[in-house]
A and B are shown apart, each in its own frame.
Chain A
Amino acid sequence: MYNRIIWNDILKSKLITLTTMIFVAVAAMLVSLAAILVFNLSGSLDTLMKNAKTPHFMQMHSGEIDTVRLESFAKQNSNINTFQVVEFLNIDSAQIILGNNSLANSIQDNGLSVQNEQFDYLLDLSGNIIHVSDGEIYVPISYMRDNTTKIGDLAIISGKEFVVAGFLRDSTMNSSLSSSKRFLISTNDFAEIKDLGSIEYLIEFRLKDYSAIGEFEAAYTSAGLEANGPTLTYTLFKTLNAISDGMMIAVILLVSALVVTIAFMSIRFTLLAKIEDDYREIGVMKAIGIHLSDIKKIYLAKYAAIAATGSILGFIISLMFQGILLENLRLFMGKSENSYFAIVLGIIGILIVFLAIVAYVNGVLKRFKKITVAEAIRFGTSQEKKVVAKRFSLVRNRLYSTNIFLGIKDVFTRKRLYATMLMVLVISTFIIIVPQNLFNTISEKSFIQYMGIGNYDLRIQTNTAEKIKDIVKTIDSDSAISKYVVMTTKTFKVKTSNGSEENIKVELGDHSAFPIAYSVGRAPAAENEISLSSINADELGKEVGDVMKLVIEGREKDLRVSGIYSDVTNGGKTAKALFSDNTTSVMWTIICVEFSDKSLVDSKVLGYSDKFDFAKTSDIDEFVSQTLGSTISSVQKASFAAIVVALIITVIVTLLFMKMLIAKERYSIAIMKALGFTNSDIRTQYASRSVFVLIVGIILGTLLANTLGEVLASALIASFGAATFSFTVNPLTAYFLSPLMMLVAVLFATKLGTSDAGQINISDNIKE
């Protein structure tokens, strides 16, 4: 019997059932996808790093190297399993030509390497260790991804010819956020070409016990070993590899949380409306002694059926979609070992969605208990107290037209029901505004200040200290340049709280010329001040106002922390100060330049990179677009998609809501028509309801977007290394165009949803 009742009910409300099912399906799809992706990501990542034997500790070093001293350190330290020094031949990117493309514009440090013997292997796309023959070259996977080259292309590196034999996965440098890229060639070719670039050393260790990495790092530093370059650990490699797919998963999780909420809302709202509809019937059933749980069963069964169908549908769709989303992951990291497990996880995900829905429906149905037989049969409505609504009296209304008044009064009278629609509109507003604000924020030029880069036009970076004077002389005499500063980076020792010493890279120079954004405090302004990147501040346990001790040529110097900033450069571990020091050797120098005429930037960049071929000259816009460009464009795409999705949700939910209200309120509509209200009066009343709810929704949604949304977006950006930022809001789009789009969507849906009201026949519906 239940089957028949449920089936009849579903047939009677096809549109509502279908919409609810679609929301459930989308929610289930997203949850399942997120589960599948998380599992595959962690699986593939583990497989890649296991096969490649990723180093646990890697110190990059340029300059002289004392291999004997390193070897003796390795022998003495009991935690070391294996140790190797890898040569990385830095090649000027302009000297690398792949097929028809030159890498001249690449901001990556591109270089050559041979296959390692013990660990840190470079792998082919099937996950095997590559054995490379003479004349062959293997190219980092990212150059396949952006279509720079393909297998069989001719590659010319500093004049020597190679054939692109394949692509490689590099477990340490795959990510676009890691600034170096290794090309693989044979040992013979490497020996031949060695003099055409500068050698950088990767000093690598695998440990017996990775959990003791902290002690190992301290031991390495205190032994005073080679350290002229970034230090990287296994954990950091893992993070870098996971970040881009991780971001995608984070976005999917966020969207799925919202869609799940919307699915719940639409269930709640159809259910409440249904209960209101069936109020009298429920009362009658109660009166004739049918048990409450039997009545509940009917409702529960219906929603269980909808939820089950929706979940299964969503799961199937997620299986169809997973390929597209896994594509990037599979390319960069390879297939996960047991991808069947991922599907099991997906099933568990949708099972949770299903059970949550059933539990939720069960919770909403608790309301049955409150239905009293007398009320239900006599009035067919519940006697909930309407305190606020009471104050709204038509005889005292002077403010609105009667139709608008009736619309707004209805919203206040049935807050529960409209709260559901409100929630959906709040979420839609949120989904429209947050990605848009995020896009505005990161696409603005000043955003790079949050990443530790000042607002200049051009940077020239060099490791050869002797030639700085030449550069400065040329720049100083260039009349097109309005401002420039010279920043030198040196390594000092810092005393940590437990008395040991660690290396710290400090950028010395005038930091007021091209200011960056400080999350706390300000830039150093006096000789005895220093500012720290947030990662350094965390690791050293320093806050603004604290004093820290630097060791400079054996002498201690006290410096006060003046501020903390976010940084994505140099692995995020930097510091800034302006004291003068002539004793310590310079690691690198950066000259930051601003032109008075911005249109000159392109030609100047070319001119200077030709002139100072020993240095790395880059246009800041290019620098930003290569590091952040793909993120900006994907956020832009996401924000367009978000607008479309939110508007569709708004239209569907409003339409559903209006259709249902009209169906429920045929009696009231018939009364009003009998009393002489026109069809357009009635449509105005319904439009007032939805527009009123919309206005409240837009206000709440915008407030929420600028508070909670900003926090969420900050957290997302923080995963890049930037700490705090506030939204750059474009008032025209955020406070005018977006609400306008919502308004149009809601009015359109209301008009469509209430078009049936004119067809309601008075005599048929007034009999009740």
Chain B
Amino acid sequence: MKKIIIGDHIVKSFGVKDDQRNVLDGVSVEINEGEFVAIMGPSGSGKSTLMFALSGMDSLTNGRVIFEGMDLTEIGEKELSEIRRIKMGFIFQQPTMLKYLNIIDNIVLPSMRNNRKNAPKIAEKARKLMRRVGIGDFEKRDITQVSGGQLQRAGICRALMNNPKIIFGDEPTGALNSKSSEDIMDIFSEINMEGTALMLVTHDAKVAARSDRIMFMHDGKIVSELKLEKFNGKDIEDRINEVTVKMREVGI
């Protein structure tokens, strides 16, 4: 299996000299192409920090991140931006949208940079994605005129626009009720089937149960791992049980 991303002994510390704390304490991870990885752990264990580190959004105190053979700690701001724009997709815990753009403009924003000639094609693609996640009618609404769940779906559309190799999701369903959450997870599963790698941070056993592999974090370290079979839409209850048992074992 080809690795898409390799985190090699990542150390990230916050604070000044005397009062330094390693939020990530030598974390090593490898994610295969097309793999669906879930990250679980108590609040403050460093999950979000790990995501920011792996996507090159944050500088590291120590260690390396290799993305498709490139060391992200050594390339410039421009190249890093380009990788994020073309190869990666992001969905944050809170919807992160620009206030003064409407829904569809927010979705096409990263694809439109230096690409306005293709605007009609891009818009068409955005509309297709919006219909797929069930927000086809909200194209022209302001971001303040739709619900939190609808906004989160728009965020997913945005992440999918450039056909990324990997999507990072930091509790993408954290703000949603269980029905919406399930709808969204169905979409994620579909995307994963189509070959996009996923790395989702979650508290929810139902979400993690759909993944291929779960990493458990504690105090800036990966303390345990649970491998599952590729999810094919069946036996979800059994998988959830397995995850719950493991979670109890790890102490979450």
Contact = CB atoms under 8 A, between A and B. Distances in A.
Interface in A88-145: none
Contacts of A668: 98-99
A401 to B, nearest CB: 7
A681 B49 CA distance: 26
Interface string B200-225: 00000000000000000000000000
A309 B132 CA distance: 61
A681 B84 CA distance: 14
Interface string A590-621: 00000000000000000000000000000000
- Most chain B beta-carbon neighbours within 10 Å: one of A674, A677, A766: A674
B123 interface: yes
B86 A676 contact: yes
Contact of A766 (B96, B98, B116): B96
Interface stretch (A49-57, A390-398, A537-545, A708-716): A390-398
A536 to B, nearest CB: 63
Given A395-B126, A763-B58, A766-B92, A401 B116 contact: yes
Contact of B58 (A389, A396, A401, A761): A761
B144 A383 contact: yes
A636 B110 CA distance: 52
Contacts of B94: 767-768
B236 interface: no
Chain A contact patch, size range? 35 or more
B138 interface: no
B77 A675 contact: no
Interface in B71-124: 77-78, 81-86, 88, 90, 92, 94, 96-102, 104-105, 108-110, 112-117, 119, 122-123
Given A403-B113, A678-B77, A395 B144 contact: no
A712 B21 CA distance: 67
Contacts of A198: none
Interface string A301-340: 0000000000000000000000000000000000000000
A13 interface: no
A286 interface: no
A393 B105 contact: yes
Contact of A413 (B49, B52, B85, B100): B100
Contacts of B96: 667, 671, 674, 766
Given A394-B109, A397-B116, A677 B81 contact: yes
B98 A671 contact: yes
Contacts of B117: 398
A381 interface: yes
Interface string A383-426: 10010011001111110111101000110011000000000000
B98 to A, nearest CB: 5
B71 to A, nearest CB: 19
Contacts of B52: 762-763
Nearest to A671: B96
B122 to A, nearest CB: 7
Interface in A647-683: 667-668, 671-681
B100 A409 contact: yes
Interface in B116-157: 116-117, 119, 122-123, 126, 140, 144
A379 interface: yes
B144 A763 contact: no
Most chain A CB inside 10 Å of its own CB: which residue of B104, B108, B109: B109
A230 interface: no
A152 interface: no
Nearest to B59: A761
Contact of B85 (A381, A677, A762, A768): A677
A63 interface: no
A758 interface: yes
A757 B93 CA distance: 24
Question: Binding site of A, secondary structure by majority: helix, strand, loop or mixed?
Answer: helix
Nearest to A410: B100
B192 interface: no
B53 to A, nearest CB: 9
A678 B81 contact: yes
Contact of A673 (B81, B99, B123, B140): B81
A649 to B, nearest CB: 28
A762 B58 contact: yes
Contacts of A762: 52, 57-58
B106 to A, nearest CB: 9
B85 A395 contact: no
B90 A675 contact: yes
Contacts of A677: 81, 85, 110, 113
A390 B94 CA distance: 25
B48 interface: yes
A395 B105 contact: yes
Contacts of A680: 78
Contact of A675 (B85, B126, B144): B85
Given A676-B81, A763-B57, A763-B58, A671 B101 contact: no
A378 B114 CA distance: 33
Given A394-B112, A402-B114, A763-B48, A674 B90 contact: yes
A653 to B, nearest CB: 23
Interface in A343-402: 378-379, 381, 383, 386, 389-390, 393-398, 400-402
A260 B110 CA distance: 43
B116 A674 contact: no
Given A402-B114, A675-B110, A766-B96, A396 B119 contact: yes
Contacts of A378: 144
Contacts of B78: 678, 680
Contacts of B113: 402-403, 676-677, 681
B189 to A, nearest CB: 24
A403 B116 CA distance: 10
A410 B52 CA distance: 28
Contacts of B85: 675-677
Contacts of B97: 671
Contact of A398 (B49, B77, B105, B116): B116
A394 B109 CA distance: 8
Given A675-B110, A677-B113, A678-B81, A381 B144 contact: yes
Nearest to B126: A395
B110 A395 contact: no
Given A401-B114, A758-B77, A766-B96, A674 B122 contact: no
A414 B99 CA distance: 11
A580 B106 CA distance: 86
Interface in B168-196: none
Nearest to A676: B85
Nearest to A405: B116
Contacts of A394: 101, 104-105, 108-109, 112, 119
A758 to B, nearest CB: 7
B77 A395 contact: no
Contacts of A403: 113
B22 to A, nearest CB: 16
A405 B98 CA distance: 14
A389 B100 contact: yes
Contacts of A389: 100
A471 B213 CA distance: 115
Nearest to B14: A764
Interface of B: 48-49, 52, 57-58, 77-78, 81-86, 88, 90, 92, 94, 96-102, 104-105, 108-110, 112-117, 119, 122-123, 126, 140, 144, 158
Given A394-B109, A400-B116, 8 more contacts: A386-B100, A394-B105, A395-B104, A395-B105, A667-B96, A674-B84, A676-B113, A679-B77
11 contacts: A383-B144, A390-B140, A395-B126, A397-B112, A398-B116, A413-B100, A675-B90, A675-B158, A676-B83, A677-B85, A763-B48
